[in-house]
Structure 1
Amino acid sequence: MGKYNIVAITNCPAGIAHTYMVAEAMENKAKSLGHTIKVETQGAVGVENELTPEDVKNADYVILALGRSITESDRERFNGKKVIEMKVSEALKTIETLFDDLEGQAVVFEGQVTNSSADPKVKLGKQKSKKGSITSHLMSGVSASLPFVIGGGLLVAIANIMVQYGAAYVDMSAGDPSFAWVLENIGYLGFKFMIPIMGAYIAYSISDKPAFAPAFIICYLANDKNLLGTESGAGFLGAIIFGLAIGYFVKYMKQIKVGKTLKPLYNFTIIPFVTMFIFGIITYYFMGPLLAGLMTGALNFLNSIPIEYKYPAAILVGAMLAFDMGGPVNKTAWFFCFSLIEQGVYDWYGIVGVVTLIPPIAAGVATLLQPKLFSKMEQESALSAIIVGSTVATEPAIPFALADPVPVIAANTIAGGITGMIALMLGVQRMAPGLGVFDPLLGLIKPAGSFYLALAIGVALNVFLIITFKKIRIARDAKKANN
């Protein structure tokens, strides 16, 4: 096998765990094989270690490990290059064999870049994988909205903590507002704008820059209760519907042939104007009130469900969150719970705050308690799984699940479901994403005692199940070998 110069991009829906785990794994594996590699990470903090035109030009191969779609202008950089594209989760699973047959896996990105810099476009040929699915577009919107709700939630939490410790809370009607009031209202802007930003980035993921402004404005309009005269806004449902609709509408408009001299004017003036006009009228008179009514009805239904019927739902949500540790099942449950924050419903997101911490912590603790049941690599990563899993993401549990899928996934799913019900029973509420076990100290999760109690029960149960199921599996394998 030759020694190659490789460049790569990694991203994931949240831009936190997979993005950097896969980048580090790629770097370590490539260097151990003698390759030269540079990995651009597109995480929650933005683009880091960005690939330069010179890096791309000199690369023998490009690896795109993606959890959400990248834009046309991003893909333009790799026109004519040999590219391997895969899901970011798949890259983590296959890291040991990823570089074994680069030539066999690679597909040439083909096409021509238009002369107009206002509309960079590459037509990709011979692609085996989809350029962008609806799910990847939705995850692009979620990823963009996370910093708004995280930053806003932390500011609101700090303001509330200040008031609890005796700080003044005075609004503008009483004269000069107090610092706590100012801080809280700045924080609430994060919650206010996370919906328009989500819709805008969904549309941007589909059709690039011309779709961004129309989607932002229309999603803002759909959530302005005063302007629409409704009880609630369209919420995340509106962001999804308008983001997708505007994205694909603009994509269609971009296919209309216009002269090269008119192309910049068409893309950045005519398309936004026409889109805002059409969707603005539709939203104000029809879709805005309709979606707001649906959201109001859904919230009333959710709040009116008898508690005995909420428990099975909590078990299902908890099991889904723990099942594939950041995968599509996890993201479906997470998205449902997260979407309720903007409407002031925090108990379902409280389940997320507890359950997503459990699989990595439990895997690490079980390894420390019974090291003989785990491989040397698992033993070495146990402490890291506990630390990273308790503060950032569920994904550090993935290597343990890949090494022994049935016992670990079964243990995670059962413990996650039971813990989801316990969290709901104890009234755990989470206002915004934060720093895992430290969220109660930041005022993002309450009550703190209920959170830590649910977490302790969930971890203990998960550890017990992992060890028990592994021993059963080992005993069964030994019995088969003897027979």
Structure 2
Amino acid sequence: MAVKKIVAVTNCPAGIAHTYMVAEAISEKAKSLGYEVHVETQGASGVEDRLTPEQIKEADYVILALGKGMTDEDKARFNGKKVVELPVSDALKHIETLFDDIDDKAHVFETSGLKLGADQAAVKEGVMSYLMAGVSGALPFVIGGGLMLAIGSLMVQFGMANTALDAAKDIQPSLAWVVSQIGTLGFTFMIPIMGAYIAMAIGDKPAFAPAFIATYLANSPDLLGTETGAGFLGAIILGLSVGYFVKYFKKIRLGKNFQSVLGYLIIPFVTLLVFGLLTYYLIGPFSGWLMQALLTFLQNIPTSMKVIGGFVVGCMLAFDMGGPVNKAAWFFGFSLLSSHVYIWYGIVGVVTLMPPMAAAIACWIRPKLFTQQERAAAPSAMVVGMTVATEPAIPYALAAPVPMIAANVLSGGIAGALSILFNIERTAPGIGIFDPLLGLIHPWYAYYPVLAVGLILNVVFIIWFKSAWVKHEEKKQAQKAA
């Protein structure tokens, strides 16, 4: 009997945790069934283990576990193949049954239709999916820029000069100043890139350049004559508007003489003309006013309300561990970085570490509450959790959703409130627990105690809630047996 051959592609909005966890899960499950498997990951580092034309041609089935969709051009590789497409989070949850009745789940992909089956809308469509595509594009700019700014700041703190360039006085810049300026460029381009990737997620490549330029314009107060730039609100408005404009523009049929230049010449030019003028006269000033109003509100709300907001954001971050609620709270904090508002992203630096680390510690303290598989995964959950990837906590939550999610949410909310109370700021994404050492979290002396309190509470709640849950389940099983 011939060995069944599987190829798969995995991606997720941030391109960090789900992408690789699902790739590993698919690979291990397929191999356990005796299948030949090849998995392509589209993560933060780009495309790795790219599927070859031969692998795709020989494959019996294609699995697309997607969190941010794929371009039409990328999907075209699988024309005529039997394809199973599902959200990346579902692939992780249902990995044990993913290959059951796979022929019934699969649909033959036709390039002209650009539809892969019933799950297509769940993966590709949705505003949050588009926004997270924007975040995925902006992340490298913020991470690189944030680390450069941190290095520049450390150089000054260690006594190096911070001399700016002054060509008129023939003053050459110092190294620390140059490093900081390079880092600043990362934050300068963060928002235009976000707008461009949002647009491209909807309208594909022709939407990228118009959205980038229009969003850059909206964030240029000197050009617009506004008090402030449009910030992430401008990126959202322009990214979505340009994306949908291009999406429907592409449906126009101009005849074979002009159709070939539609995508790379006509659409980008017309879109830039329309949205360039709209941005200058309308969208830019309006978005700038809206952004200024939001920043003024966030700066002037009383501390008590900020603490309540911190509790809510912390609860959201801990609720579904990389799911839509988590991503909404994460996006809010991340998007404010370009406006130099760092306290809401400070909550992310605390709360997102807690669920996987707490699950691992609880495993070691009360191993009888967890299965052998969960105990074996504890070291990995601890290490990965320390680097701000909440997803390793998902298997623990799936096994006992009520106690685990309740423990995570309650402790996450408390930690979020404490983070606001102690004014913890995170200036850029980094590597989790080590961020204060890199100069990305301030004040460091408040960060670690708040994290420790949140982590201790999370572990206590897990043991407390899960012990009660296990007793309840045992009692229910005993009643059924009787």
1:353 pairs with 336, 339, 349, which one? 349
Equivalent residue number for residue 126 of structure 2: 133
Q: Shift in Å at residue 128 of structure 1?
A: 4.4
8 Å contact from structure 2 (residues 128, 324) kept in 1: no
8 Å contact from structure 1 (residues 225, 231) kept in 2: yes
Q: Shift in Å at residue 310 of structure 1?
A: 1.0
Equivalent residue number for residue 66 of structure 2: 66
Q: Shift in Å at residue 194 of structure 1?
A: 1.0
**Separation in 2, partners of 1:210, 1:478:** 59
1:178-189 residue pairs with structure 2 within 5 A?
178-189=174-185
- Alignment TM-score, normalising by the size of structure 2: 0.96
8 Å contact from structure 2 (residues 352, 388) kept in 1: no
1:89 equivalent in alignment to 2:85 = no
**Separation in 2, partners of 1:341, 1:325:** 22
Equivalent residue number for residue 420 of structure 1: 416
**Separation in 1, partners of 2:117, 2:333:** 39
**Separation in 2, partners of 1:345, 1:392:** 20
Q: Shift in Å at residue 473 of structure 1?
A: 1.1
* 1:83-111 superposed Cα distances (whole Å, 9 cap, x missing partner): 00001000001111111211011011124
What is the one-letter code of the residue matched to 2:383? Answer: I
**Separation in 2, partners of 1:126, 1:476:** 41
Equivalent residue number for residue 239 of structure 1: 235
* 1:276-303 superposed Cα distances (whole Å, 9 cap, x missing partner): 1111111101110000000001100110
1:288 equivalent in alignment to 2:284 = yes
**Separation in 1, partners of 2:38, 2:377:** 24
1:386 pairs with 382, 386, 393, which one? 382
**Separation in 2, partners of 1:475, 1:392:** 32
What is the one-letter code of the residue matched to 1:338? Answer: F
8 Å contact from structure 1 (residues 71, 206) kept in 2: no
Equivalent residue number for residue 117 of structure 1: none
* 1:409-449 superposed Cα distances (whole Å, 9 cap, x missing partner): 00000000000001111111000000000000000001111
8 Å contact from structure 1 (residues 195, 219) kept in 2: yes
Q: Name which of structure 1's ranges 126-135 and 339-348 shifts more when overlaid on structure 2.
A: 126-135
Q: Secondary structure at the match of 2:38?
A: strand
Equivalent residue number for residue 142 of structure 2: 149
Q: Shift in Å at residue 259 of structure 1?
A: 2.1
* 1:254-279 superposed Cα distances (whole Å, 9 cap, x missing partner): 11111223223222111111111111
> 5+ residue gaps in structure 2?
none
What is the one-letter code of the residue matched to 2:103? Answer: E
What is the one-letter code of the residue matched to 2:398? Answer: L
1:399 equivalent in alignment to 2:398 = no
Q: Secondary structure at the match of 2:137?
A: helix
Q: Shift in Å at residue 28 of structure 1?
A: 0.7
C-alpha change, 1:203 and 1:367, in structure 2 (3 Å) is same
1:417-456 residue pairs with structure 2 within 5 A?
417-456=413-452
* 1:190-229 superposed Cα distances (whole Å, 9 cap, x missing partner): 1110111111111111122211110110010000111111
**Separation in 2, partners of 1:225, 1:446:** 29
Q: Shift in Å at residue 74 of structure 1?
A: 0.8
C-alpha change, 1:333 and 1:313, in structure 2 (3 Å) is same
Q: Secondary structure at the match of 1:110?
A: coil
> 5+ residue gaps in structure 1?
113-121
C-alpha change, 1:169 and 1:418, in structure 2 (3 Å) is same
C-alpha change, 1:165 and 1:68, in structure 2 (3 Å) is same
**Separation in 2, partners of 1:4, 1:125:** 21
Q: Secondary structure at the match of 2:202?
A: helix
Q: Secondary structure at the match of 1:340?
A: helix
1:304 equivalent in alignment to 2:300 = yes
Equivalent residue number for residue 331 of structure 1: 327
Equivalent residue number for residue 77 of structure 2: 77
Q: Shift in Å at residue 126 of structure 1?
A: 4.9
What is the one-letter code of the residue matched to 1:266? Answer: L
Q: Secondary structure at the match of 1:172?
A: coil
8 Å contact from structure 2 (residues 76, 111) kept in 1: no
Equivalent residue number for residue 201 of structure 1: 197
1:108 equivalent in alignment to 2:120 = no
Equivalent residue number for residue 31 of structure 2: 31
Q: Shift in Å at residue 125 of structure 1?
A: 6.3
Q: Shift in Å at residue 35 of structure 1?
A: 0.5
Equivalent residue number for residue 460 of structure 1: 456
Equivalent residue number for residue 6 of structure 2: 6
8 Å contact from structure 1 (residues 22, 88) kept in 2: yes
**Separation in 1, partners of 2:52, 2:127:** 29
**Separation in 2, partners of 1:392, 1:57:** 38
C-alpha change, 1:309 and 1:392, in structure 2 (3 Å) is closer
2:115 pairs with 119, 124, 147, which one? 124
**Separation in 1, partners of 2:439, 2:333:** 19
8 Å contact from structure 1 (residues 411, 462) kept in 2: yes
Q: Shift in Å at residue 127 of structure 1?
A: 4.4
CA RMSD in angstroms comes to 1.3
What is the one-letter code of the residue matched to 1:138? Answer: L
Find runs of 4+ consecutive structure 1 residues off by over 6 angstroms: none
8 Å contact from structure 1 (residues 17, 392) kept in 2: no
**Separation in 1, partners of 2:184, 2:57:** 45
Equivalent residue number for residue 119 of structure 1: none
Q: Name which of structure 1's ranges 59-68 and 200-209 shifts more when overlaid on structure 2.
A: 200-209
Q: Name which of structure 1's ranges 473-482 and 26-35 shifts more when overlaid on structure 2.
A: 473-482
C-alpha change, 1:479 and 1:6, in structure 2 (3 Å) is closer
Sequence identity (%):
59
8 Å contact from structure 1 (residues 107, 127) kept in 2: no
What is the one-letter code of the residue matched to 2:225? Answer: G
8 Å contact from structure 1 (residues 16, 392) kept in 2: no
